[in-house]
């Protein structure tokens, strides 16, 4: 049985990612999921080894602050799409959500376009980031050591219901958790040099 705990907290700084969210509030979500081991569903990246430091290209110190290439094994029967949530585990701040990734996908290319519907991931959608006006991936940028985690979710619907371009990270994350069949994680660390 799966248990989902969702905590939404207000934070200082940053900006709103939808008109429905107060401009002074970031959607910070800590989702604790107790589930059986996910077996053969695995998330990897040629840019990040589990537990290692992020490459500069995928952080605020790299040119473009671009997303790393990600790859996963096929989800279980009933998988109709995939979603990814990228979180700073040190403070539970969600950096990036991309969802409605087609079920035929086995990964994401490096440098996903920073747009609501990125042209290099057909069908996918992205929320605004934690920085006002920025959409898509924003990588690690802490002054001290933080741990970050990508989680890919196999989803039981092709399109997450009730979401629009205006949906905030705090709106999208719980919908992902309501529709996930299985998940796989990949984590790494970073501190500004």
Kindly report, residue by residue over 29-73, the tens digit of the pLDDT: 343 333 434 468 999 999 999 999 999 999 998 888 999 999 999
CB 154 within 8 A of CB 180: yes
Position 1 scores a pLDDT of 34
Of 30-34, 68-72, 96-100, 179-183, which range is least confident?
Answer: 30-34
Higher pLDDT pick, 71 / 28: 71
Whether the pLDDT of residue 9 is over 50: the answer is no
Whether the pLDDT of residue 25 is over 80: the answer is no
Position 62 scores a pLDDT of 81
Q: How many CB atoms lie within 10 A of CB 159?
A: 13
Query: What number is the average pLDDT over the span 144-155?
Result: 97
| Backbone phi and psi for residue 177, each to the nearest 5 degrees, phi listed first | -65, -30
Whether the pLDDT of residue 22 is over 60: the answer is no
* Nearest residue to 182 via CA among 26, 51, 73: 73
Position 151 scores a pLDDT of 98
Query: What number is the average pLDDT over the span 164-170?
Result: 95
Superfamily of domain 3-190: PEBP-like (3.90.280.10)
CB 184 within 8 A of CB 151: yes
| Backbone phi and psi for residue 57, each to the nearest 5 degrees, phi listed first | -60, -25
pTM of the entire predicted model: 0.81
Whether the pLDDT of residue 6 is over 70: the answer is no
Buried b / exposed e over 117-154, threshold 16 CB at 10 Å, is ebeebebbbbbbbbeeebbbbbbbbbeeebebebbbbb
* Nearest residue to 69 via CA among 158, 147, 137, 115: 137
User: Domain residue spans in the chain?
Assistant: 3-190
Higher pLDDT pick, 156 / 191: 156
Position 39 scores a pLDDT of 60
**In the numeric block, which tokens belong to residue 55?**
């490459």
The percent of residues above 70 in pLDDT, for the chain, comes to 80
**In the numeric block, which tokens belong to residue 4?**
């989902």
Query: What number is the average pLDDT over the span 109-137?
Result: 94
Position 130 scores a pLDDT of 87
**Interatomic CA distance for residues 137 and 48, integer angstroms:** 16
Whether the pLDDT of residue 20 is over 70: the answer is no
Q: How many CB atoms lie within 10 A of CB 21?
A: 21
CB 72 within 8 A of CB 106: yes
């Amino acid at each position: 049985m799966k248990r989902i705990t969702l905590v939404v907290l207000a934070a200082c700084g940053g900006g709103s990612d939808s008109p429905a969210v107060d401009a002074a509030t970031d959607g910070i979500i800590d989702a604790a999921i107790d589930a059986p081991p996910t077996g053969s569903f695995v998330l990897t990246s040629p840019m990040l080894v589990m537990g290692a430091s992020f490459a500069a290209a995928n952080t605020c110190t790299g040119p473009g602050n671009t997303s790393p290439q990600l790859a996963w094994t096929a989800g279980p029967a009933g998988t109709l799409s995939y979603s990814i949530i990228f979180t700073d585990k040190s403070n539970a701040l969600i950096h990036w959500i991309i969802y409605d990734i087609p079920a035929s996908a086995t990964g994401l290319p490096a440098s996903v376009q920073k747009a609501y519907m990125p042209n290099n991931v057909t069908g996918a959608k992205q929320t605004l980031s934690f920085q006002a006006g920025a959409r898509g991936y924003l990588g690690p940028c802490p002054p001290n050591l933080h741990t970050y985690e990508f989680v890919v979710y196999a989803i039981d619907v092709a399109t997450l219901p009730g979401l629009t371009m205006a949906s905030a990270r705090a709106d999208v994350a719980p919908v992902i958790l309501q529709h996930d069949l299985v998940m796989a994680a990949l984590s790494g660390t970073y501190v500004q040099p």
